[in-house]
Chains A and B, each alone.
Chain A
Amino acid sequence: MPQPSDLICVGAIAGAYGVRGDVRLKSFCAVPEDITAYAPLTDESGTRSFDLELTGTIASGFAARIAGVTTKEAADALRGLRLYAPRDRLPSLPDDEFYHADLIGLDVHDTGGARLGRVTAVQNHGASDLLEIDTGTGRATVLLPFTLAVVPTVDLSARRIVADPPEGLF
């Protein structure tokens, strides 16, 4: 059974769809249809497992059928449930490409070894990916461009990023 720390939230159930036990499914994946590729999904604790199949596209996401859920009441009981996939089920990526889930939580140090903060989010506003860093000083977060020049080292095993931030960021 996967540990909760190894789980990544990939979707949520928004309620029942129709009267035959189908559910309304919201996908958080980059390609929404990919949510089925990670099935069977689990709840947050990893104890319950859900095997799902998409049955159609609706305005708020997908209509889906979950194995063992055959009535509207059973589907309604799942409303609000977040669906998780084990991290090791995500496909491996080429060099210099990282899952947001892997980057979030990493410690950021400068080239001199001083700690700058911790990654809290990854954003992209159209120019390049940006790491949002909480400096831990209570001030606003800092956005760091995720480029080879600014972030030369990402060490996932040591959970550490080495950054060479441009002047005027920190």
Chain B
Amino acid sequence: MPRSVWKGPFVDAYVLKKAEAARESGRNEVIKIWSRRSTILPQFVGLTFGVYNGQKHIPVNVSEDMIGQKFGEYSPTRTYHGHAADKKAKRK
């Protein structure tokens, strides 16, 4: 059953505090969080979070199309590198 709309999206309170502090300071920093369950909110767009995957903090640059998803979705706990072959990386 989906979460009731009247409750609003779930976010751990400390994530909101850290994000607000980072935005006010204007510094270029990675906001380290352990809360993989928190929902990505519109006010997080443009910030970089370091989302813990049980081993280390994976940098996650929040963009508009990530709103509504959970931080944990962008910080996999298992990684498979595969082969480089003709794969491309785009600098945004």
Interface positions of A (Cβ within 8 A of B)? 8-11, 27-30, 34, 38, 90, 93, 96-101, 103-104, 121-130, 140, 143-149, 151, 154, 164, 166-169
Number of residues from B at the complex interface, CB < 8 A: 33
Known: A130-B58, A166-B48. A125 touches B88 (CB 8 A): no
Q: Is the interface of B mostly helix, strand, loop or mixed?
A: loop
Task: Say which residue of A9, A27, A148, A164 sits within 8 Å of B92 (CB atoms).
Answer: A148
- In the assembled complex, which residues on chain B have CB atoms less than 8 Å from the CB atom of A166? 28-30, 48, 59
Task: Say which residue of B59, B83, B86, B87 sits within 8 Å of A130 (CB atoms).
Answer: B59
Task: Say which residue of A123, A129, A130 sits within 8 Å of B90 (CB atoms).
Answer: A129
> At the interface, yes or no: B56 with Cβ under 8 Å from chain A?
yes
Interface positions of B (Cβ within 8 A of A)? 27-30, 32, 48, 50, 55-56, 58-63, 66, 73-76, 79, 81-92
